[in-house]
Chains A and B, each alone.
Chain A
Amino acid sequence: MLGDYSLGDLGAIFAMQGFAGLILFSVYLLMALGLAIIFGQMGVINMAHGEFMILGAYVTYLCSTFFQTYLPALFPIYFFIAMGLAFLASGALGMLVEWGLIRFLYKRPLDTLLATWGLSLILQQAYRSIFGAREVGVELPSWLIGSVQVTDTIEIPINGLFVMAVTILITVCVALLIFRSRFGQQVRAVMSNRAMAGAVGIDTEKVDRYTFGLGCGIAGVAGSAFTMIGSTGPTSGQLYIVDTFLIVVFGGAASLLGTIASAFSISQTQSTLEFFLSGSMAKVITLLAVVGILMLRPQGLFTLKVRR
Chain B
Amino acid sequence: MADDTDTGADRGLRSPLRRRLLMGLAGAPALALMPRAAWAAPATSAVNTTGLAVTDSEVTVGILHSITGTMAISETGAQEAEKLAIQQINDAGGVLGRKIKIIQEDGASDWPTFAEKAKKLLVNDHCAAVMGCWTSASRKAVLPVFEQYNGLLYYPTFYEGLEQSKNVFYTGQEATQQILAGLDWVHKEKGGDSFYFIGSDYIWPRTSNKIARKHVENVLKGKVVGEEYFPLGHTQFNSVINKIKLTKPKVIFADVVGGSNVAFYKQLKAAGIDLSKQVLMTISVTEDEIDGIGGENIAGAYACMKYFQSIDNENNKAFVAAFKKMWGEKTVIGDVTQAAYLGPFLWKMACEKAGSFDVDKVVAASPGLEFKGAPEGYVKIDENHHLWSKTRVGKAKTDGQFEIVYTSPELIKPDPFPKGYQ
A interface list, Cβ under 8 A from B: 5, 9, 13, 16-17, 19-20, 23-24, 27, 125, 128, 132-139, 145-147, 149, 155, 157-160, 226, 228-236, 238-240, 270-272, 274-275, 278-280, 282-283
Contact = CB atoms under 8 A, between A and B. Distances in A.
Interface stretch (B51-59, B262-270, B411-419): B262-270
Contact of A236 (B231, B259, B289): B259
Interface in B269-283: 269-272
Contacts of A282: 239
A135 B266 contact: no
A109 B212 CA distance: 50
A160 B270 contact: yes
Contacts, number: 141
For the complex of A and B, the 5 pairs showing the least CB-CB separation, nearest first, are: A135-B292, A231-B262, A20-B238, A157-B270, A279-B230
Interface stretch (B19-27, B242-250, B401-409): B242-250
A62 to B, nearest CB: 16
A60 to B, nearest CB: 13
A9 B272 CA distance: 16
Contact of B271 (A24, A134, A157, A234): A157
B228 A278 contact: yes
Nearest to B289: A135
B201 interface: yes
Contacts of A146: 269-270, 272
B311 interface: no
A5 B291 CA distance: 39
A235 B201 contact: no
Interface in B95-121: none
Contacts of A136: 291-292
Given A145-B296, A236-B259, A133 B72 contact: yes
B292 to A, nearest CB: 3
Given A149-B272, A280-B229, A239 B291 contact: no
A231 B234 CA distance: 11
Contacts of B243: 275
A145 B69 contact: no
B235 interface: yes
Give the secondary structure class of B's interface.
helix
Contact of A125 (B68, B258, B271, B288): B68
A254 B266 CA distance: 34
B216 interface: no
B347 to A, nearest CB: 26
A271 B230 CA distance: 13
Nearest to A149: B272
5 contacts: A135-B289, A139-B294, A231-B260, A272-B239, A278-B228
Given A132-B76, A228-B270, A229-B235, 8 more contacts: A160-B270, A230-B235, A230-B262, A231-B293, A239-B234, A240-B235, A274-B239, A278-B227
B180 interface: no
Nearest to B229: A280
A199 to B, nearest CB: 46
A87 B239 CA distance: 30
Nearest to A20: B238
A155 B235 contact: no
Contact of A160 (B201, B238, B260): B238
Given A230-B266, A234-B72, A134 B292 contact: yes
A19 B236 CA distance: 13
Interface string B206-248: 0000000000000000000001111101111011111101100
A159 to B, nearest CB: 5
A161 B229 CA distance: 26
A270 B259 CA distance: 19
A157 B272 contact: yes
Contacts of A128: 68, 72
A278 B227 CA distance: 8
B300 to A, nearest CB: 14
A17 B70 contact: no
Contact of A24 (B236, B246, B261, B289): B236
Task: Pick from A128, A136, A230, A280 the residue with the most CB of B within 10 Å.
Answer: A230
A27 B263 CA distance: 13
B228 A137 contact: no
A283 B245 CA distance: 22
Given A146-B272, A278-B229, A279-B229, A233 B292 contact: yes
B73 interface: yes
Contact of B293 (A137, A147, A235): A137
A257 B261 CA distance: 33
A271 B235 CA distance: 12
A235 B235 contact: no
Nearest to B288: A134
B201 A280 contact: yes
Contacts of B292: 134-137, 231-233
A239 B233 contact: yes
A295 to B, nearest CB: 23
Given A133-B72, A229-B263, A238-B233, A275 B270 contact: no
A279 B261 CA distance: 15
A20 B271 CA distance: 10
A238 B260 CA distance: 12
Contacts of B260: 231
A134 B269 CA distance: 22
B286 to A, nearest CB: 12
A5 B241 CA distance: 17
A134 B76 contact: yes
Contacts of B296: 139, 145
Given A135-B291, A234-B72, A279 B228 contact: yes
B252 to A, nearest CB: 15
A231 B261 contact: yes
A279 B67 CA distance: 31
Contact of A134 (B67, B201, B263, B291): B291
